[in-house]
């Protein structure tokens, strides 16, 4: 336990971008709240009832955290691709290997950092930034901000939902993370190309040879399918139709975003199995690697 904590702290020491980037993003968003001007034009004929206000409130929450999570995904992509390569590049791998830490523990610490520690950290940070943001907006605009009603119950529900969605998403993306780690441990140079080109070539080859797009469909599903599975698209899509016939219903948002189909989805578990296999290979590569 203590060992794993030390290993994860080590990751945060080396890859400072893991925590600096989210901090900067949160700070920027707060700066926007402090100095930014926003004009929201509300169609006059739309009279928002309470439900509509809540929906708008919920949407604003999503909009606030979304850039932070997108940035996190980008940062994690490059972190995973670099973490096992950096120690070979600067030859510090021999120092790490002189410590009684197994290759499995090392790889696990990197995976845990990417799939658990950083997402949780970003979640907490986004939550805090959100509170600060709301407080500043409230102070600056006073009554004018009443258009978007603050509702603590909805807010808590949303946060719980985001945390849950985040954890599921991280499980869903575990195979991608494992693939990046594998490339990081294996490739001698051009890591980005090794990570990206094989899938792209596979898709192109299939199109040329067979004229079908099964691999492409599969990859798209693995990369973006989670959001459909979680029902985010329908939920948000509904909510976005403000002013339309169907005024958004926040309750529905929660109904639509439902965990059980995702947890019951064999694709999630098959993906995790595949990730485990890739991790095993990665550990083997790090153990056997003999760069001279």
CA distance 70 to 137: 23
Q: At closest approach, how far in Å is the CB of 4 from another protein?
A: 9
Maximum pairwise Cα distance, the chain: 73
Told to check if 20 binds another protein by CB under 8 A, we report no
| Residue 179, both tokens | 């693939």
Q: Which is nearer to another protein, 19 or 194 (CB)?
A: 19
CA distance 125 to 131: 10
| Residue 121, both tokens | 């950290």
Q: At closest approach, how far in Å is the CB of 10 from another protein?
A: 6
Told to check if 5 binds another protein by CB under 8 A, we report yes
| Residue 125, both tokens | 């940070």
Q: At closest approach, how far in Å is the CB of 100 from another protein?
A: 4
9, 220, 228, 246: which one contacts another protein (CB under 8 A)? 9
Told to check if 192 binds another protein by CB under 8 A, we report no
Q: At closest approach, how far in Å is the CB of 289 from another protein?
A: 9
Q: At closest approach, how far in Å is the CB of 93 from another protein?
A: 8
Total binding residues toward another protein, as defined by CB under 8 A: 27
44, 91, 153, 189: which one contacts another protein (CB under 8 A)? 91
Q: Which is nearer to another protein, 90 or 143 (CB)?
A: 90
Report helix, strand or coil for 245.
coil
Q: At closest approach, how far in Å is the CB of 99 from another protein?
A: 5
Crossing angle of helices 50-89 and 174-186, in 10° steps, is: 20
Q: Which is nearer to another protein, 104 or 216 (CB)?
A: 104
Report helix, strand or coil for 277.
helix
Residues in the chain: 292
Please count the other Cβ atoms lying within 10 Å of the Cβ belonging to residue 109: 22
35, 40, 45, 100: which one contacts another protein (CB under 8 A)? 100
Residues 29-88 that bind another protein (CB under 8 A): 86-87
45, 90, 143, 245: which one contacts another protein (CB under 8 A)? 90
Backbone angles phi, psi at 37, to 5 degrees: -120, 135
30, 32, 60, 101: which one contacts another protein (CB under 8 A)? 101
CA distance 253 to 247: 12
24, 34, 94, 135: which one contacts another protein (CB under 8 A)? 94
Q: At closest approach, how far in Å is the CB of 13 from another protein?
A: 5
**Do residues 248 and 235 lie in contact, with contact meaning Cβ atoms separated by under 8 Å?**
no
Q: At closest approach, how far in Å is the CB of 20 from another protein?
A: 13
| Residue 164, both tokens | 């849950």
73, 99, 124, 160: which one contacts another protein (CB under 8 A)? 99
Told to check if 212 binds another protein by CB under 8 A, we report no
* Interface ranges with another protein (CB under 8 A): 2-3, 5-7, 9-10, 13-14, 86-87, 90-95, 97-102, 287-288, 290, 292
């Amino acid at each position: 336990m203590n060992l794993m904590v030390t290993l994860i702290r080590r990751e945060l020491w080396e890859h400072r971008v893991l925590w600096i980037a989210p901090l900067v993003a949160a700070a920027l968003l707060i700066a926007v709240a402090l100095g930014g001007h926003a004009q929201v034009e509300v169609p006059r004929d739309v009279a928002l009832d309470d439900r509509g206000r809540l929906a708008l409130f919920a949407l604003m929450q999503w909009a606030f955290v979304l850039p932070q999570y997108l940035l996190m995904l980008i940062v994690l992509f490059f972190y995973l691709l670099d973490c096992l390569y950096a120690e070979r590049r600067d030859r510090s791998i021999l120092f790490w290997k002189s410590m009684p830490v197994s290759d499995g523990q090392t790889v696990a610490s990197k995976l845990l950092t990417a799939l658990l520690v950083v997402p949780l950290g970003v979640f907490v940070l986004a939550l805090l930034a959100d509170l600060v943001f709301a407080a500043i907006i409230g102070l600056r605009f006073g009554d004018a901000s009443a258009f978007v009603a603050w509702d603590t119950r909805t807010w808590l529900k949303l946060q719980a939902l985001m945390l849950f969605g985040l954890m599921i998403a991280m499980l869903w993306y575990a195979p991608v993370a494992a693939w990046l780690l594998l490339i990081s441990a294996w490739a001698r140079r051009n890591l980005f190309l090794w990570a990206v080109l094989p899938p792209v070539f596979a898709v192109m080859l299939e199109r040329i040879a067979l004229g079908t797009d099964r691999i492409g469909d599969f990859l798209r599903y693995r990369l973006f399918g989670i959001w459909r599975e979680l029902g985010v698209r329908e939920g948000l899509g509904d909510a976005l139709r403000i002013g339309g016939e169907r005024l958004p219903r926040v309750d529905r948002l929660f109904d639509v975003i439902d965990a059980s189909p995702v947890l019951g989805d064999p694709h999630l578990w098959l993906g995790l199995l595949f990730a485990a296999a890739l991790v095993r290979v990665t550990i083997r590569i790090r153990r056997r690697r003999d760069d001279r």
